[in-house]
Amino acid sequence: MLAALRPLLITFFMKLTDALTTAHRLDRSRHAAPQVFERLREMILSLELEPGMVLSRNDLAAQYGLSQTPVRDALMKLGEESLVDIFPQHATVVSRISVTSAMQAHFLRRSIELEVVRALAAARNAALITRLRETIAAQTEVLDLHNYEQFVLLDQDFHRRMFEAAGVPQLWELVRRRSGHIDRLRRLNLPVEGKTEAVVRDHTAIVDAIDRGDADAAAAAMRTHLSDTLSQIEQIRAGHPDFIPDD
């Protein structure tokens, strides 16, 4: 039996090794530090790198085939977003989730995005409505697969498209760079029963209001959508007390 399985096992481990190698492969035509920063940031936001995990500069340099300088630069940039805590000459640790930081990021995003949907309701962009509904349809398709990573990417695409259509794409980048703590709270809350379905309903309500040209309804739907995670903060903390200390 083992002899018969050996070729399959060899193939499996070869594919696994290749996948791991590809995951750490960088585009050598681009600067290394921004790529390492983006990859580590994605891993932190997806909780693949959990709050409290120690990040070894030596290990990261070896994984990406780099010197320590671009890794150090990437970690410093993560520190600027408060996604890691850097203890000089000691360690770099993935930061625990700050509710205070999450609330400030929420305030910033809500203030901007309520105005975004109001502007879009006034503009009545039919092409945008079509693209947003396509994104909602794609989200609906992945609901039963529990593919949270794809669901999150589609969620980001939904909101990014609205910022771009409103003519403020740089504000989307600003919001994204300030949202590390609340994004992690949302990721912890996403597997809760009914949460993904609620996101789809919220998105649909937002688009329906924009399509009608109803700025007040669009803003109200967006306010409800953005506020749900913070309204569940105690439940999220109870489920993950090591990730979310008392501020």
pLDDT digits (tens, 9 = 90+) for 148-166: 999 999 999 999 999 999 9
Average per-residue pLDDT in the chain? 89
pLDDT digits (tens, 9 = 90+) for 1-57: 435 444 443 443 344 334 334 345 767 667 888 999 999 999 999 999 999 999 999
In a domain, 246, yes or no: no
| Phi-psi category of residue 66: left, alpha or beta, with phi > 0 → left and psi -120 to 50 → alpha | beta
Q: What is the pLDDT of residue 90?
A: 77
Same domain, 121 and 53: no
Whether pLDDT at 247 is above 80: no
In a domain, 3, yes or no: no
Same domain, 71 and 153: no
Domain harbouring 191, CATH code: 1.20.120.530
Looking at per-residue pLDDT, the higher value among 71 and 30 belongs to 71
Last residue of a domain, one of 72, 94, 116: 94
Whether pLDDT at 145 is above 60: yes
Same domain, 60 and 152: no
Last residue of a domain, one of 44, 77, 94: 94
Tell me the residue range of the domain where 63 lies.
Answer: 8-94
In a domain, 140, yes or no: yes
- Backbone φ and ψ for 93, nearest 5 degrees, come out as -125, 135
Last residue of a domain, one of 69, 94, 119: 94
Q: Are 7 and 39 in contact (CB under 8 A)?
A: no
Same domain, 70 and 156: no
Tokens (6 digits) for 69:
């300088």
Same domain, 90 and 130: no
Section 134-157 average pLDDT: 91
84-87 β-sheet, strand order = 54-55, 91-94, 84-87
How many other CB atoms sit within 10 Å of the CB of residue 127?
A: 8
Read off the pTM. 0.83
Whether pLDDT at 96 is above 70: yes
Q: What is the pLDDT of residue 29?
A: 65
Same domain, 139 and 204: yes
Query: Cα–Cα–Cα angle for 111, 113, 114, nearest 5°?
Result: 70
* Structural domain total, the chain: 2
pLDDT digits (tens, 9 = 90+) for 123-133: 989 999 999 99
- Backbone φ and ψ for 50, nearest 5 degrees, come out as -80, 155
In a domain, 170, yes or no: yes
